[in-house]
Amino acid sequence: MLTFRHTKTASGAQAVQVVTYRDRRVVVLKHIGSANGEEELILLDNEARVWISKYAQQSSIFPSIEPLIPKPTFLTELSGKQFVGIKYGLMYETFCLVYEHLGYATINNALFRDLCIMRLVKPASKVRSLELLRRYFCLSYSERSLYRALPEFLKQKEEIERLATTFISKQSEEDFSCVFYDVTTLYFESFDSDEFRKPGFSKDGKSQQPQVVVGLLVDKNGFPLKQEIFSGNTFEGKTMLPLIEAFQTEQKIKACTVVADAGMLSFANMEELRTKGLTYIVGARLGNLPNSLLEQVISFFKNKQEGMIFRIQTAYGDLICTYSEKRERKDRHDMEKQMDKAQKLLEQGETVRRSKFIKASKKGTYSFNEQLQEKTEHLLGLKGYYTNTTEQNLSNKEVIEKYKNLWRVEHSFRMSKSDLVARPIFHRKEDSIKAHLLICFVALSMGEYLEKTTGLSLRKIVDLLNQVPDARLKNIQTKKELLLRAPLSEETKILLKCLGVSY
């Protein structure tokens, strides 16, 4: 039989719990809430009765001796209340617990924590975030305190990254024997550059606008480990070594394999990684191979078959090439699309625009590049990798599989740019820009943890928690506020159970 009881909490409030009795023991089925007065207790008692009725899915066969809630009293109590708005307490509590679970609570900065949480809930400018913190969670901070705090956040960067790596090493016993690195660019809605925000090669196609370059290191599961911000005109190949070296020193790592994209490839980079005792797996641009080496590759894959693998020593390390029918279909589709574009430009005389298959002569005339077409056709379906690992340490297939996991960094960048809206960046000063991206780094680690733990997307998680607001009822006489939480859907309960959050 289900019933409810009152019990005192440590703070002296009256807790209302739905209980049953099994083997002469009290089993708590549901904690309804805590009341600080008679009025609140009546409301919680009513909620307990409703919960029991739904849980039992049947009405009592015995009429109550007293009405469940004396109707006049209930109406009188509500008449003394004023609805003052809603807050999303469950969402805030959940994200606070995730923040603490990852170890970031030791930073001991409430504003930093709340800005990270708001980045997950509704990304916006810092000033707008303060307004949203008031609206969503009834938390108040001044703009003055925000701008004072931004440079202070940067002093915690090393500690934050240490906490991130500590969490991963404990959670999955990660030894960081293999890490993944990539870069992206974030541009500004401005044409005014400075010493830090500079135009450069833009991955967003905004080469005329000032930008910054962001280097990100993640583990094999895509959890962020370290981040560095560089001026906008920094060549991406020069960003990897400083970050890897710092990570190696901080984590006291002697043996580690770095997986990176082809943009990181340079002879100096490879040599320095070797001298530091690090192994690497880097993408190779087969179209840029020396002619003698390219001819060997083309000759080997003359009769292409699924899964064929070619390996040869080069100055950059061993070159491994593999063939895939699926990749050939995609490459052929892309090639035909580019060829059609080139032909149309030539027909229309619009050769000023860049196109892969258009070549210019010394006389200033333009024509279709048939040699490039032939070369491209030979390389359809082929993918190349450079590595200084030996076959005894890592087989060809293991090298290829590790490189395939590089998508996890790209996924992190996509989450930063879409879900967390890392740009537009509304700051101009270098410290403020770096502080903003540090907030994005922590929010990214929280988002990755939430998605991997629950199997849901970050947007879906926020939507589910958004469906459980708390109604804020204010006692007109005592000025005290009572919160009435909306019922939870089964999907939300499953979400909270995955995260270990009680409700």
CA 215 – CA 314 distance, rounded (Å): 27
Contact 77, 480 (CB under 8 A): no
Is the predicted pLDDT of residue 54 greater than 70, yes or no? Answer: no
pTM of the complete model: 0.75
CA 276 – CA 283 distance, rounded (Å): 20
Nearest alpha carbon to residue 45 among 12, 26, 72, 18: 18
**Average pLDDT for 248-263:** 84
Find all residues with CB under 8 Å of 394, minimum gap 6, and list them: 257, 387, 402
Is the predicted pLDDT of residue 383 greater than 60, yes or no? Answer: yes
Q: What's the pLDDT tens digit per position in 286-340?
A: 998 999 999 999 999 999 999 899 999 998 899 999 999 999 999 999 999 999 9
pLDDT band, very low/low/confident/very high, at 158 (cuts 50, 70, 90): very high
CA 377 and chain centroid, separation: 37
User: Which residues on adjacent β-strands are paired with residue 218?
Assistant: 180, 224
**Average pLDDT for 186-214:** 76
Sheet holding 224-231, edge to edge: 224-231, 211-218, 178-187, 257-260, 279-284, 382-387, 317-323, 309-314
Phi, psi of 351 (to 5 degrees): -85, -5
**Average pLDDT for 13-28:** 77
CA 280 – CA 389 distance, rounded (Å): 7
- pLDDT score recorded for residue 5: 84
CA 70 – CA 155 distance, rounded (Å): 59
- pLDDT score recorded for residue 385: 94
Per-residue buried b or exposed e for 295-317, using 16+ beta carbons within 10 Å of the residue's own CB: ebbeebbeeeeeeeebeeeeebb
CA 257 – CA 207 distance, rounded (Å): 32
CA 156 – CA 495 distance, rounded (Å): 31
CA 255 – CA 268 distance, rounded (Å): 20
User: Which residues on adjacent β-strands are paired with residue 20?
Assistant: 27
**Average pLDDT for 467-478:** 86
